[in-house]
Structure 1
Amino acid sequence: MDNLEFYRQTIETILRKYAEIPYSFGEIDQHLIVDRERNHFMLFDVGWQQKRRVHGCITHVQIIDDKIWIQRDGIEDGITNELVEAGIGKDRIVLGFQPPEVRPHTGYAVA
């Protein structure tokens, strides 16, 4: 299996696990949106909580130039540890939500 397909399967497996966790309050559904053609993976919430609309991106991951870019990470403990545990090197993961000048100090790829 090539890196691209391994990355796709790993990201989707991790995010699918989170998409299946039900909310304990409110009427909120989690949706996993996967665009393999463009290498975008999103975990999204939609619903209602205490008469307030909930609609937003929890996590957004992209594969760009053979690296995994974490554009948004709203998972409680973060997705990066699970990616590393799955065998993806920190040098292949970019914390895109961090400013470029901070990335060299994160222990992950710069870009």
Structure 2
Amino acid sequence: MSDYAKLRPSHGNIPLDAIFDEMRDRYSLMQVGWNRGKWVRGNLIYVIIDNDQVIIEYDGMEYGITQDLVKKGIPESDMVLAFLPDSRTVSIA
């Protein structure tokens, strides 16, 4: 997340903030700022770690984060793309 937070959008003044909740294993990348006179805010990435699986709840990045996670050593079999229909295989409490 920290690497993604260093990115800058191609337009607008929209900083990115990495949010870490290590106690509950929730990780997020938020955007908050101005673009062409409009207030922009929202979540770009939301990831949960549960039962040794990386659950990608939302991925709003242009190329996605899955391949970056694989490059960092996380097997695709340990990832769940929860934003796709019928992909959730674990229960989030």
TM-score by length of 1: 0.75
Q: From 49, 68, 91, give the equivalent of 1:82.
A: 68
Percent of aligned pairs with the same amino acid: 36
1:46-78 deviation per Cα after TM superposition (whole angstroms, max 9, x unaligned): 011111110000000000111000000011111
Structure 1 residue ranges without an equivalent (≥5): 1-14, 104-108
Structure 2 residue ranges without an equivalent (≥5): none
The secondary structure found in structure 1 opposite 2:62 is coil
Q: From 6, 28, 31, give the equivalent of 2:14.
A: 28
C-alpha distance in 2 between matches for 1:25 and 1:89: 34
Aligned residues: 90
Give the CA deviation at 1:93: 0.2
The CA RMSD measured in Å over matched residues stands at 1.4
Give the CA deviation at 1:110: 4.2
The secondary structure found in structure 2 opposite 1:17 is helix
Q: Which structure carries more helix by proportion?
A: 1
Q: Are positions 1:70 and 2:69 aligned together?
A: no
The secondary structure found in structure 1 opposite 2:82 is coil
Give the CA deviation at 1:91: 1.1
* Equivalent residue letter for 1:96: A
TM-score by length of 2: 0.89
C-alpha distance in 2 between matches for 1:110 and 1:65: 11
* 1:1-111 aligned within 5 A: 15-100=1-86, 103=87, 110-111=89-90
